[in-house]
Amino acid sequence: ASGGLEREATGAGLTSLRQLSFRLDRRLETVCSAQLTGELDDCFCDVESIDVFNNFKVYPRIKKLTEKDYFRYYRVILTRPCPFWPDDGHCSIKDCHVEPCPESQVPVGIKSGNYNKYSQAANSMADVAECEQAKELGAINSTLSNRSKEAFADWARHDDAQDHFCELDDETSPDAEYVDLLLNPERYTGYKGPSAWRVWNSIYEENCFKWPRSVYRPLNPLAPGRGDDDGESFYKWLEGLCLEKRVFYRLISGLHSSINIHLCAEHLLDEGWGRSVWGPNLQEFRQRFDTGETKGEGTRRLKNLYFLFLIELRALYKVVPYFERAIVNLYTGNSREDGATKELLLELLSEIQAFPMHFDERSMFAGHKMEAKTLKEEFRLHFKNISRIMDCVGCSKCRLWGKLQQIQGLGTALKILFSEKEIQKLPEHSRSKGFQLTRQEIVALINAFGRLSTSIYQLHNFRLLLEEKR
């Protein structure tokens, strides 16, 4: 249905698009009777406009983009032990398993040694540059003590880390493996219970700027006497925080909501005789988002999903100048495929530029200079700690998509939002030392945004199912 309206809507303005949307989903049917309409908190945008923009303009394009070779292969370490508590062991359910991709099947331009390169020129010049650098460093290092060499190495690592909001996997590690994301889709695996709750609890309560012990996150399964006040004390406390701390909580909540929608939309419905049937599970969806079953919490969760969508949308808007440069050609070794991928990416970014209601990140960290700097660093360190918690996820497939979306995808979006000046200074025909994105960051950024776009698109499908049910 959306495909036909997409063709009809080509070139149309936002107003006419909204009219078309109402034909498909006339009253923007309330999700499980929850009023998911109107403006979102902490920004000037409404749910209806995002629905129309995403379902007609973004989703069809980003779905095609994430199927391209450049974006389907992701290098990740899934075997690191949990650094915070004794490891529960990996989930033994077969759907938790991730099938790594043999390097022989990975496009030549993506394979080991080229994982931080994004252009053919960068690959062909890599060996020469590394050789010249080795000669220069050799001449300098001969005059340095071992202690000084280690200090310089530590400084370099520290400087590199200042741009990152997450702990990145070492792509050169022998434990790092390529994964074909299309062959390992995000869907329901059966991983749940105390192990999964402990991970989410740690992410929320140990990292969201430490709320008081007397305040409990709504519907927290590990909280004593949970739900006694329908979460009102929590939200009163949250409203008293500064914008940055509210944003941090809403990003995590929005990501949690997005993941839950994926699990509900791709649920195991039937299994037998060597085949599995996957599809939407309305009961699971209502359990997580129905306003009655969640005491109104479902609506807040979904609004946080839309809020996160706007944050990552803004990051893509900001990074357009980076991708518009001729030097960035999303190199896989197949020139025709690479050209089509770059064209599709720029087409998506052009649509994003045309969207009139972006989140204004300038309102964040805008107070006293030293206080803003301290708060930004605290924000970054909290987020980096969450990236370490991902190694405590017992389900390999959950760990894969958590690392891609929650760690590197969102982390790259935050890196972009706080690098506006560096992006504006980018040279047209050479790499800049002020701002860079590795291939891993680009792949994670686009796939993470694609997951959010898919979540919002799936919400429309659940609305239709709920209407049929009624």
187 annotated as ligand-binding? yes
In angstroms, the CA 362 to CA 360 distance is 5
Nearest to 319 by CA among 442, 415, 423: 423
Residuewise pLDDT in 10s, the chain (470 residues): 344 444 444 444 444 444 444 343 333 334 433 456 656 665 557 888 899 999 999 999 999 999 999 999 999 999 999 998 887 767 778 899 999 998 889 998 898 544 455 555 555 544 444 434 433 333 333 344 454 444 434 433 433 445 677 777 788 788 999 999 999 999 999 998 888 989 998 888 766 666 677 778 888 877 766 545 667 788 888 888 888 888 888 999 999 999 999 999 999 998 877 788 999 999 999 999 998 888 889 999 999 999 999 999 999 999 999 999 998 889 999 999 999 999 999 999 999 999 988 877 777 767 677 877 787 787 788 888 888 899 999 999 999 999 998 789 998 998 898 888 889 889 888 777 788 899 999 999 999 999 999 999 999 999 999 989 88
In angstroms, the CA 80 to CA 237 distance is 36
Known active-site residue 264 = no
CA angle 420, 425, 426 (to 5 degrees): 100
φ, ψ at 367 (rounded to 5°): -85, -145
124 annotated as ligand-binding? no
**What is the predicted pLDDT for the residue at 454?**
98
In angstroms, the CA 462 to CA 29 distance is 10
145 annotated as ligand-binding? no
In angstroms, the CA 376 to CA 23 distance is 44
Alpha-helical runs (H) found in 390-438: 396-401, 410-417, 420-424
58 contact partners, CB below 8 Å, separation of at least 6:
348, 351, 352, 453
Do the beta carbons of residue 22 and residue 288 sit within 8 Å? no
Do the beta carbons of residue 432 and residue 425 sit within 8 Å? yes
CA angle 238, 41, 385 (to 5 degrees): 50
H-helix or E-strand spanning residue 269: strand 267-272
75 annotated as ligand-binding? no
In angstroms, the CA 303 to CA 256 distance is 12
In angstroms, the CA 324 to CA 337 distance is 17
Q: What 3-state class would DSSP assign to 183? A: coil
In angstroms, the CA 329 to CA 181 distance is 21
Domain limits of the chain? 38-111+162-210+240-469
Q: What 3-state class would DSSP assign to 261? A: helix
User: How many angstroms separate the most distant Cα atoms in the chain?
Assistant: 79
Q: Which residues of 432-446 are buried (b: 16+ CB within 10 A; e: fewer)?
A: eeebbbbbbbbbbbb
Do the beta carbons of residue 453 and residue 310 sit within 8 Å? no
Q: What is the value of pTM for the model shown?
A: 0.83
Nearest to 289 by CA among 219, 216, 208, 215: 219
Do the beta carbons of residue 395 and residue 189 sit within 8 Å? yes
Nearest to 351 by CA among 316, 312, 327: 316
CA angle 449, 407, 354 (to 5 degrees): 25
237 annotated as ligand-binding? no
Known active-site residue 395 = yes
Do the beta carbons of residue 265 and residue 463 sit within 8 Å? no
- Residue 439, Ramachandran bin (φ over 0: left; ψ between -120 and 50: alpha; else beta): alpha
Six-digit token pair at 221? 């399964």
**What is the predicted pLDDT for the residue at 131?**
39
Six-digit token pair at 447? 């796939």
388 annotated as ligand-binding? no
In angstroms, the CA 323 to CA 352 distance is 13
Six-digit token pair at 222? 């590990």
In angstroms, the CA 196 to CA 398 distance is 10
Q: What 3-state class would DSSP assign to 271? A: strand
Please state, as a whole number, how many other Cβ atoms lie within 10 Å of the Cβ of residue 165.
23
Please state, as a whole number, how many other Cβ atoms lie within 10 Å of the Cβ of residue 214.
7
Distance of alpha carbon 337 from the chain centroid = 25
In angstroms, the CA 88 to CA 69 distance is 35
Alpha-helical runs (H) found in 277-395: 282-289, 297-318, 320-324, 335-354, 369-389
